[in-house]
Amino acid sequence: MPTYKRLTPKNSLQEAMFNFSVYGNDVFSFYILVDGPVYFSVSDNFSAESHPEVLAEFYSDFPEQLWSPEEIGTIREAFQTIQNFVDIEFIYAGDFDKTDDLNVVTPADIEQSGLNINVSSIWNTDIDWLGISNINDSSLYPGSEGDVFLNLARLREYVNYSAFSFTNQVLLHEILHSLGLSHPHSYKFGQHFTLTEYRTLIEENRSLFDSLGFGQLAIADFDSEIFTLMSYKLENQTDNLFEFNAYTPMLLDVLALHSVYGAGAGTHGENDDEIVAGNVGYRTYFDTGGTDTINVSIYTGGAIVKMGEQSGLSDYLIGAIFNRSDWTPLITAGVIPTAIRWLIGNIENLIGSPGNDFVTDNHLDNDIKLSGGSDTLSLVNGGEDVADGGEGLDAVIFPIDIRDASISKIDDSYVITGNNFSATLKNFEIYSFSGPPGYRFFAELDSVISSKNNGLPGVKRTSKAADNPNQIIIEFNENPILEDGFAALYAGSSLIHEFTSFDSAISTSTNTLNLDLSRFTKFGGNFRLEFNSGKITDFDGNRIFISDILLAVEETPFVQEGY
């Protein structure tokens, strides 16, 4: 039979996630169950008449609990959900409704049999908690450690034990307490408190969260159920709006449980799995092996997919999937997404959506099949990748200078290799390479292959004239051919001027183009130079792509807009 054992924290994850000191009470801090399978059961509850020695907050106005088969099934499913993530065997021991001597069987009665976690419901309008776990506390009655109580008087608006319900989320929360997880942030005397240890955990792993899209979040914003089911900050508490509920333990819960109990069999195991990702609510996928594929085809509005980053929190890669509609509010204003799928494990492949996807690879050998829409693939993590852009105007981003890439064409695919990566690509229309600091351009790869100047197409550098801050100098790798309308100048959304090949504002010298914007300063403010790549070519007719240029007249040096 498992017992509670004191945990000596070994890292910031354990320091934060098993620490109850936010309440000023270390009695429950750093305890976990050890030694053997965990039995769980359901039962009736206490009344003042039957157990006057029990604290009044655990009395129920209706101590007799008639558990339906559906409710018991959902409770068993909740334990199985947790078992998917953690190396603990949960065994259902039954519904203790009556014995030879008792018609109402309370948790105290059945704990004499040595069961570990009993779930019971009470109806008590005098208390304000929704659910509670006794954690490692045996003072309520002998064997009370780990027992869970749900207060239906407070849950009555949400009582639906389905896997998508808020009641189920409360049940998962309390079971995780029974396994030792704490509130890394909580509320005391009407004020919000965040553990110093939790702040440290987030700060130590800020680069991971930033890479996954959470760079705009302050530390306090990580007090949310999307990071830990143990948070009090819930995005929704209404069953008929279930899309905001958390259906599983969240990222930090799973990683914390892994760190002390070991990993479970996974939501998807060691086979070659295809995971069809949902796009409502909050869920964690945990894959333990095989060659696996994430399918985001139901994200009709487009998906943002981070296939996995390495971190010090886990031996597994950590990734995430978002609805595209959530992405801009998240990365610009730190707005919590309406849905998220955490990825824990090594996911090799991806099937895209019919919308506009943005996919970031991982360091494994990825096979990525995008679909309709204008998709963007960011190949920043290495590996030997194969990708098909599918229909639409699709772009691929490389983290290397084009001068460090080897580019060849095989049938209808381009093979691009560089330091620590290789990519075989087809059906991508835009290829974006990095360059000198602050510089990025798009290249048409046929131009790369046929270029006269060391295989380098397009723009070599852009700058401002030293003696005239309103003069833009664009130096090409070869002599450009300019057609009328090759560039346009905008102030905000207003078109100020469209350049012709013989415009008085331009001059050329071999492979250099000078744009003098002095006469446009009367418009004031910031400008954007927009280039029409179809009207800038080399002598072989290959297009030369230039990113839009943002500039402030007679102010700071311009910054090129990256893709």
Q: b or e along 293-331 (b: 16 or more beta carbons within 10 Å of the residue's beta carbon)?
A: bbbbeebeebbbbbbbbebebbebbbbbbbbbbbbeebb
Is the pTM higher than 0.85? no
* DSSP secondary structure letter of residue 335: P
Q: Please name the residues in contact with 529: beta carbons below 8 A apart, sequence gap of 6 or more.
A: 472, 487, 488, 489, 490, 515, 548, 549, 551
Query: Which strand (E) or helix (H) includes residue 196?
Result: helix 196-204
Q: How far apart are CA 46 and CA 48, in angstroms?
A: 7
- Which fold is adopted by the domain 3-9+18-180? Collagenase (Catalytic Domain) (3.40.390)
Mean pLDDT score, 375-382: 92
Mean pLDDT for 393-420 is 83
Q: Which residues 6+ apart lie within 8 Å of 314 measured at CB?
A: 255, 258, 344
Mean pLDDT, the chain, integer: 82
Q: Which residue has the tokens 């009993």?
A: 118
Residue 294 scores a pLDDT above 70:
yes
Decide if pLDDT at 555 tops 50: no
pLDDT for 523 equals: 54
Residue 316 has pLDDT above 50, yes or no: yes
CA distances from 75 to 44, 78, 163, 322 (A): 15, 5, 9, 29
d(CA 288, CA 345): 6
Chain region(s) in the chain for CATH 2.60.40: 462-560
pLDDT at 98: 62
Provide the pLDDT confidence category of residue 448 given band limits of 50, 70 and 90: very low
Strands 481-482 and 536-537: antiparallel
Calpha distance 357→535 (Å, rounded):
28
What band does 275 get if pLDDT is binned at 50, 70 and 90? very high
Return the higher-pLDDT residue of 107 and 259: 259
pLDDT attached to residue 445: 52
Q: Which residue has the higher pLDDT, 348 or 24?
A: 348
Percent over 90 (pLDDT), the chain: 37
| CATH fold group of domain 462-560 | Immunoglobulin-like (2.60.40)
Phi-psi region of 61 (alpha: psi -120 to 50; beta: other; left: phi over 0): alpha
Tell me the mean pLDDT in the region 152-158.
Answer: 74
Q: For residue 452, what pLDDT is reported? A: 27
Predicted pLDDT of residue 489: 83
Q: Is the pLDDT of residue 429 over 50?
A: yes
Most confident of 71-75, 85-89, 465-469: 85-89
Measured between alpha carbons, how far apart are the two ends of the chain, in Å?
58
Inform me whether the pLDDT recorded for 388 exceeds 50.
yes
Which fold, 265-434?
Alkaline Protease, subunit P, domain 1 (2.150.10)
Question: In which residue ranges of the chain is CATH 3.40.390 found?
Answer: 3-9+18-180
Residue 239 has pLDDT above 50, yes or no: no
Mean pLDDT across the stretch 180-195? 75
Q: DSSP assignment, residue 73?
A: H
Which residues of the chain does CATH 2.150.10.10 include?
265-434
Decide which of 195 and 313 is more confident.
Answer: 313
